[in-house]
Amino acid sequence: MSDTENSDKRELLLEIQDLRIEGYADDKWVEIVHGVNLELHRGEILGLIGESGAGKSTIGLAAMGYTRDGCRISGGSIDFEGMDLTTANQDELASLRGAKIAYVAQSAAASFNPAHRLIDQHTEAPVQYRIKKRLESQEDAMELYHRLRLPNPKEIGFRYPHQVSGGQLQRAMTAMAMACRPDLIIFDEPTTALDVTTQIEVLAAIRDIVDQFNTAAIYITHDLAVVAQMADKIKVMLRGEEVEEAETIKMLEDPEEDYTKSLWSVRSYKRRQKYRPQGDAVPVVSVQNIDAAYGDVKVLENVSFDIHAGMTVAVVGESGSGKSTAARCITGLLPPTAGRILFNGEALPSSYKARSRDQLRQAQMIYQMADTALNPKVRISEIIGRPAHFYRGLRGAKLKKRVDELLDLIELEPRDFYNRYPTELSGGQKQRIGIARALAANPSFIICDEVTSALDQLVAEGILKLLDRLQKEFNLAYMFITHDLATVRSIADEVVVMKEGRIVEQGPKDEMFTPPHHPYTDLLLSSVPEMDPEWLTTVLEERGVDNIGEAALKKQ
């Protein structure tokens, strides 16, 4: 982010011309990246954004002369400091990787070898290339840990990956990428798997360190607000092709292409907020003072909230805050150890085994991973048809009619989808099938567990609109579990904020999003990246580097 005005004077570091990459599928090679050009100068940060399947990671890896198994570079050139990586042999490439170009992966937890200490993995490349002696490199690692604001920088490296938190691991991985002081680092969605409060400190740490060492970077993400904080210029990708490229500020304020504009506009989707009915209306679901535990570990404490017909209650919180556990209590999968759950004013048996079929029918679930929530060996007609048969006893022509109706409801053409299998559908279509399956039972209440977090923004928006339409049509009550505050803003009526198994704060959305907040809510809200490129700088100035992320969480 430093002196952009000098950028044309900087030396060209990486030049990709007409890069074409093919992937092997169904016994033939199919082109997945169609002639991409890219230029990167020393110290410059390029943001590469697009939805899944846009080819971002493939291009990022190709910049290291690497392709995943089943992919190959079929054309074009990748020129790094005068060396063409498409024609270089494996030894030349190996000596470049780690030393001159380094990689930071999406999931640090999966990308650190579980069998070795962090610092041993850190020193591997420098020792391998004889850039530094082991001890020297260890000292350097501690220095980098310190600069990345990891706690106990002298000691943390001697731990194993599973002993360190996700946000710390991601910073340790950035430190590892820095070990040989490379000229270029590829960041492949480095904060996507993190909670917002953790993401912000990782972002701040990454930005600082690339700035301090004047390292060039390709920053790959699907999150526009994140890339706005990090990049000097942004390239937008769609299905292996470049849509457009421009300086960050220009790209945010005045994108040229329609596709880019549509990406930007997703964030503006908002549905009108509804309020609780006046008087003493009975809520559809009323959770009253429940505690729950996994074995001896207490995970919920004194949780209470109500959900009224036709309303959406968003339950927000970071991973491990007890959101999904609360849902499991409501469905009866995990009987609470104390408290009770009322359904339309009547107490529900705590275990699903003791509930009547009609009680079970009333509450349905839609899951985060539509991929794993649908049986891949069963046709769509049966996936949707089974609950309709099970709960309502439909069969034969009536059942077929009902399935067609449901497919119509979720905007999928019955004739095309009736006989298909889940694997033949896209992510968004699978999630629609998940919704239809929930609707098939004619429920009055649906739990949506992170239903959009595995989807691209445009697709996610479609799902949110669909859920909204269905809610109006059938007066459904939604419990919307999410960690994404942007989604909450667009669809919730009421918000419940959870932290470590307790409810921190709850209320109507408009009140929740206006100060004064509970300190934790405040931390959550202020940690959500905004499209303003100055956002991170401003937050850091306002809160101070020690008042974000884990440090801030500890203080509470």
Rule CB under 8 A: say whether 113 interacts with another protein: yes
- Give the interface segment with another protein, choosing from 79-87, 97-105, 225-233, 505-513 (CB under 8 A): 97-105
Widest pairwise Cα distance in the chain: 76
| From 2-10, 102-110, 380-388, 452-460, span contacting another protein (CB under 8 A) | 102-110
SS3 161: helix
Candidates 6-14, 105-113, 433-441, 534-542: pick the segment binding another protein (CB under 8 A).
Answer: 105-113
One of 5, 27, 115, 415 touching another protein (CB under 8 A) = 115
Give the side-chain half-sphere CA count within 13 A for 302: 3
Q: Do 351 and 518 touch, CB atoms closer than 8 A?
A: no
CA distance 468 to 310: 10
Strand, helix or coil at 72?
strand
52 contacts: CB under 8 Å, gap ≥ 6: 222, 427, 456
- The rounded distance, in Å, linking the Cα atoms of 197 and 187 is 19
| 128 lies in the binding site for another protein (CB under 8 A) | yes
User: Is the Cβ–Cβ distance between 451 and 434 less than 8 Å?
Assistant: yes
User: Of 43-51, 93-101, 136-144, 540-548, which segment contacts another protein by CB under 8 A?
Assistant: 93-101
Instruction: Tell me the closest approach of the beta carbon of residue 220 to another protein, in angstroms.
Output: 14
Is 326 among the residues that bind another protein (CB under 8 A)? no
Is there a contact between 539 and 526 (Cβ–Cβ < 8 Å)? yes
Decide whether 106 or 229 has the Cβ nearer to another protein.
106
C-beta of 85 vs 373, nearer to another protein: 85
110 in contact with another protein (CB under 8 A): yes
Least Å distance between CB 172 and another protein?
A: 12
Q: Is 162 in the site for another protein (CB under 8 A)?
A: yes
Smallest gap, in angstroms, from Cβ of residue 502 to another protein?
23
Is residue 116 near another protein by the rule CB under 8 A? yes
Taking the least distance from each CB to another protein, the nearer of 120 and 245 is 120
- Of 104 and 425, which has the nearer Cβ to another protein? 104
- Decide whether 178 or 399 has the Cβ nearer to another protein: 178
Between strands 285-294 and 338-343, the pairing is antiparallel
Q: Contacts with another protein: how many residues (CB under 8 A)?
A: 32
Is 102 an interacting residue with respect to another protein (CB under 8 A)? yes
Phi and psi torsions of 348, nearest 5°:
-90, 145
Angle between helices 380-392 and 427-439 (to 10 degrees): 10
Q: Segment 49-68, which members bind another protein (CB under 8 A)?
A: 61, 64, 66, 68
Stretch of 110-118, 148-156, 303-311, 463-471 lying at the interface with another protein (CB under 8 A): 110-118
- The amino acid occupying position 267 is R
Q: Which of 112, 305, 418, 480 binds another protein (CB under 8 A)?
A: 112
Q: Which of 94, 238, 249, 545 binds another protein (CB under 8 A)?
A: 94
| Binding span for another protein by CB under 8 A among 96-104, 221-229, 243-251, 273-281 | 96-104
Q: Does residue number 103 form part of the binding site for another protein (CB under 8 A)?
A: yes
Map the footprint of another protein across residues 169-188, applying CB under 8 A.
Answer: 176
Residue entry with tokens 């169904």: 26
Residue choice 34, 67, 153, 160 for contact with another protein (CB under 8 A): 160
Q: What is the dihedral of CA 135, 141, 146, 147, to 10 degrees?
A: 130
Query: Nearest distance from residue 547's CB to another protein, in Å?
Result: 26
Helix axes 134-147, 196-212, angle to 10 degrees: 120
Alpha carbon distance 547, 551 (integer Å): 6
Candidates 13, 16, 62, 99: give the one binding another protein (CB under 8 A).
99
Kindly tell me which of 92 and 510 has the beta carbon lying closer to another protein. Answer: 92
- Among 163, 289, 302, 304, contact with another protein (rule: CB under 8 A): 163
Of 96, 505, 150, nearest to 321 by C-alpha is 505
The helix/strand/coil state of 45 is strand
Nearest residue (CB) to another protein, 126 versus 549 = 126
Give the three-class secondary structure for 51.
Answer: coil
List the beta bridge partners of residue 234.
47, 246
Between CA 167 and CA 172 the distance in angstroms is 9
Q: Quickly tell me which residue has 């990022």 as its tokens.
A: 60
The yes or no reply on residue 319 touching another protein (CB under 8 A) is no
Classify the phi-psi angles of 442: left when phi > 0, otherwise alpha if psi is within -120 to 50, otherwise beta: left
Residues at the interface with another protein (CB under 8 A): 61, 64, 66, 68-69, 93-99, 102-103, 105, 107, 110-116, 124-125, 128-129, 159-160, 162-163, 176
